[in-house]
Structure 1
Amino acid sequence: MRTVPLRLRDGVRRQAPTSLYVHIPFCASRCYYCDFTTYVAPKGAIAAYLDELGREFELLAPQVTHPLQTVFFGGGTPTLPDAQQLADLMARLRSAFPIAADAEITMEANPGTVDADKLETLRAHGVNRLSFGAQTFEPRLLMTIGRLHDTDAIYNSVRRAQQAGFERINLDLMFGLPEQTLDDVRRSLDETLSLGIEHVSAYWLKVEPGTPFADWQARGMLPLPGEDAEGDMYEEVVQTLVRAGYLHYEVSNFARPGGEARHNLVYWRNEPYLAAGVGAHGYVHGERYENVRTLAAYASALADGRRPVADTMRVSVREACEDTMMLGLRLAEGVSRAAFLKRHGVAMDKVFGKQIRELTAQGLLAWTDGRLHLTERAWPIANVVFEAFIDTVSML
């Protein structure tokens, strides 16, 4: 009997992007775990880059045919430039793109890098969400991971932001750090809750190649807690934040009801987004692209009036199906059977039936109201589930 190939499609390829990621790559110093595209640079280099970024906005503008619903400034440390530079950057953004009146505009910030002038400037130009990279409230651990701020800087920065009128504030925490204990995690959670913020992101340390941590690990000089202890830390994070009224809406993210990060939901729902800045990654019309990673190459491209794209990759319909599953299953809402059918033109079970049957039998996936989602026991080992959907679509 002849096997009939599945007729798959990617129903968002014609969808106009309404989200934009902007990369500001500058930091006062580089953290020991960081593998992002970041630079420690003089003020002149920062000023030149921000001007170049404005020119890239102009080159991207023709692709924005509908008002932007979300904008996310990531880094690096987007709040490292001074208040006037931030004002000019926001003016260039609004000059280039239509932005919805209720758009979510997020800016990452390191504690200690915001003052009254910067906060007032950001509010005046429409930034309505801040994300502070606290990582931990333990002074010795801040030093261990190479952070410049202290615990007072976390408190002061969050409180200044609240006094300036910011209601939407996220705090990043990390666990699985060298020599971190469960009590360390508990204290950081207690301090986080005392600040009364809307959103918490809690990330498991991953040792990335090319970082100081990777070098120290290779030499046996990185005393990590170990998988069992790290699993206990994750469980403590989940239980503490859920008890405090936060929704555990994504593997590493927790929000007060209605406080979910709209921009990040674009990623997890595998929807299109534009990206600007050195090393930035975008996904538009079924194609993923990456900008050049050096400041010199970035400046050269824009001086020539070219977009600074280094590489593009056409996402096949097979890969689009896999991405829908791997990204969507990160969310508590999971992946809708109806939405999958609408997007890809075929039932989810026809494409991934074997994987779904095996993972549900293992108690790692479950169906609720037509949505496939992680079970509670699957959250700590979610990567095991995601990996099952890689390179599995064979009938194309």
Structure 2
Amino acid sequence: MSREDKIVVGISIGDINGIGSEIILKTFEDSRMLEFCTPVIFASVKLMSFFKKHFETDINFHGIDKIEDLIPKKINVLNVWKEHVDIAFGEETPTGGEYAIKSLKAAVEALKNKKIDALVTAPINKSNIQSESFNFPGHTDYLAQELEGESLMLLVSENLRVGLLTDHVAVKDVVKNITRERIDKKINTIYHTLIEDFGIEMPKIAVLGINPHTGDNGVIGDEDDTLLRPALDNIRKNGKMVFGPYAADSFFGSGNYKNFDAIIASYHDQGLIPFKTLAFGKGVNFTAGLNRIRTSPDHGTAFDLAGKNSANYESFREAVFSAISIFETREEYQEISKNPLQTNRKRGFSKKK
């Protein structure tokens, strides 16, 4: 595979009973997408042909049995399996989880071995994927094990970026999972990804408090004063522009989020509720901090919409564009780092639709 070829974007199929197949097909039904990348869908030609017929999409596949046989500027389908698979749209079944993981594992293996440049994952169901060989809350945790680096869930939409100190953790366990070491690692990860993956030379990062009103001087908990503030003070001494902690309840409603390149929330819903309120349907989940690139849409399997030919594919399409953009920006950053005198290169990626 030559570097002159288009960026190769691997795509895991997600839960086969969800909306993954529909949003993948509708994204690449627009032939202009092939001007930006060469997609490889990790599934089977037999399965994708069934979906093509069901959703009545005007799309042609190139079936391959090994990744080396992909054809640039074509929609490639890698046969991870060849047997017939029963589809039960909208149902949570063991089969749905089994084939979602088969697709994911094959795609991640290709990503690790640099057979693809980036990975875009269609949504999985966190319940039916569980097995003895796959015991992870979701994509992020599995990728953190398989790839190198310190992972961080980063939700992205235009100039809004929200990262998490803790992600798939029960609310009752949030505080005990926020340690000085975790704060340092997550802020370091988001700081470097803003520079290397988004081309922001001097990132400004806001951190949201752990407790309501950041504890009100200890009245509603002292973790913000005893843990978060000292950690941020120490990070600022090292030259990073990190601000906070801010009271989460008014941070987004006041528009203060617009003053920063990224926001770090203390726990999942504290960050994702405002993000999805502001950007739902257009947001992208990027696993920052790893040595390889993975993005996904900002929604789940949407079983209630599955098979009805009515799913919105915009977030998935944005995930593809983001993967391309991040790959190109990271490549240019690495090249500039090797040749620091080349400071006049244009960084970033202009999306065309």
Larger Rg over CA atoms: 1
TM-score w.r.t. the length of structure 1 is 0.28
TM-score w.r.t. the length of structure 2 is 0.30
Which structure ranks higher in relative contact order (CA pairs < 8 Å, sequence separation ≥ 6)?
A: 2
